[in-house]
């Protein structure tokens, strides 16, 4: 199965925009640190991971992910995709 990573990234960026009600404190792209820049808090991160799992039928392995303030859309999607 081929995965359109760019399409996943685009939709994930839009989700983060909507979560912040388009009131973003910084420019947002796939490499923006979500926690460090205040785009997501811990509850937002849980909601975002749930979105990734449900929307894209991905599985997030919490046992092998090392969370940190620099987690970005790219790092979270790459983790889900096993990259």
Count: domains in the chain: 1
Share of the chain above pLDDT 70, in %: 99
The domain containing residue 45 runs over which residues?
Answer: 5-80
- Between the alpha carbon of residue 37 and those of residues 9, 23, 56, 63, 77, the distances in Å are 18, 13, 25, 25, 18
pLDDT score for 68: 85
Q: For the chain, what percent of residues have pLDDT higher than 90?
A: 64
What confidence tens digit (pLDDT) does each residue in 6-39 have? 999 999 999 999 999 989 989 999 999 999 999 9
pTM score, whole prediction: 0.88
In the structure, how many helices (H) and strands (E) does the chain have? 3, 0
Q: Using pLDDT thresholds of 50, 70 and 90, give the confidence band for residue 47.
A: very high
Collapsing DSSP states into helix, strand and coil, what is residue 79?
helix
Burial of residue 51 (number of CB atoms within 10 Å: 0-12, 13-18, 19+): middle
CATH of the domain at 70: 1.10.1200.10
């Amino acid at each position: 199965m081929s995965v359109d990573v760019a399409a996943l990234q685009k939709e994930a960026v839009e989700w983060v925009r909507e979560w912040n009600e388009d009131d973003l404190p910084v420019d947002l792209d796939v490499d923006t640190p979500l926690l460090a820049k205040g785009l997501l808090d811990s509850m937002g991160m849980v909601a975002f991971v749930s979105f990734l799992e449900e929307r894209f039928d991905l599985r997030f392995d919490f046992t092998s992910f090392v969370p940190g303030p620099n987690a970005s859309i790219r790092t979270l999607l790459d983790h889900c995709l096993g990259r």
